[in-house]
Amino acid sequence: MQGRAQSAVDRSDTPSSPAKVSDAEIVRAAQLDPAAFGALYTRYRVRIYRYLRLRTGSDDEAADLTQQVFLRAIDALPGYQERGLPLAAWLFRIARNAAANAHRGRGRTVALDDAPDSVWRTDAENPEAIAIQNERLAHLRTLYGQLDAGKQELLALRFGAGLSSREIAPIVGRSEAAVKKQLTRIIHTLRERYGDA
């Protein structure tokens, strides 16, 4: 059994592998051998961190919460059952709860100013282009800060974590169509307000 678990881990970490190992296969392997959980950690850690980074006040806090998410996940893994939801939904629910618990009582939403520079990648090399981009980002940060926490969370899940509407829906407890519609409205509103400046 351990050989099968290790095989799933080895295949999932190989980018050139012709058949990418599914999350379900890795979960089954990790339920037999917890060492196989490393493949899920590798697959999801960056996305979980980026989501948490947009929900927290610092790189350190996001890193700590990311670690907590995976510790909770590995503890709960023996009882995990797919139930028709993707594994990503399960992990991001854990992340969402971890972020909410960390901020409970603080009533704090995170402004885009708290987002790491990696969220605001720029390929511009000339100073004028960088200054223009910084000005645009400052305006976008202001608009983002005016959104309520629920809308900020949807944007964090979509753009910070890179999740699709289908993946976000079970995390926030809404239908895919409702998530897609709300994201479209939020983005449309941001574009309108951004263009009015």
Please, what's the b/e burial string for 63-89 (b: 16 or more CB within 10 A of its CB; e: otherwise)? eebbebbbeebeeebeeeeeeeebbbb
Write out pLDDT tens, residues 1-42: 344 433 443 443 433 343 488 999 999 999 999 899 999 999
Highest mean pLDDT (candidates 40-49, 54-63, 108-117, 132-141) = 40-49
- Cβ–Cβ under 8 Å, residues 143 and 62: no
Whether pLDDT at 81 is above 70 = yes
Whether pLDDT at 107 is above 50 = no
DSSP, collapsed to helix, strand or coil, labels residue 105 as coil
Q: Whole-angstrom Cα distance, residue 142 to residue 32? A: 48
Write out pLDDT tens, residues 139-193: 777 888 888 888 988 988 998 888 999 999 999 999 999 999 999 999 998 888 8
pLDDT at 12: 39
Write out pLDDT tens, residues 111-138: 454 454 544 455 556 777 777 777 877 7
Residue with tokens 């949807």: 154
Q: What is the DSSP letter of 56?
A: S
pLDDT at 145: 81
Whether pLDDT at 76 is above 90 = yes
The helix (H) or strand (E) run that includes residue 180 is: helix 176-196
Q: Which residues contact 107 (CB under 8 A, 6 or more apart)?
A: none
Alpha helices in 86-162 (DSSP H): 87-103, 127-145, 149-155
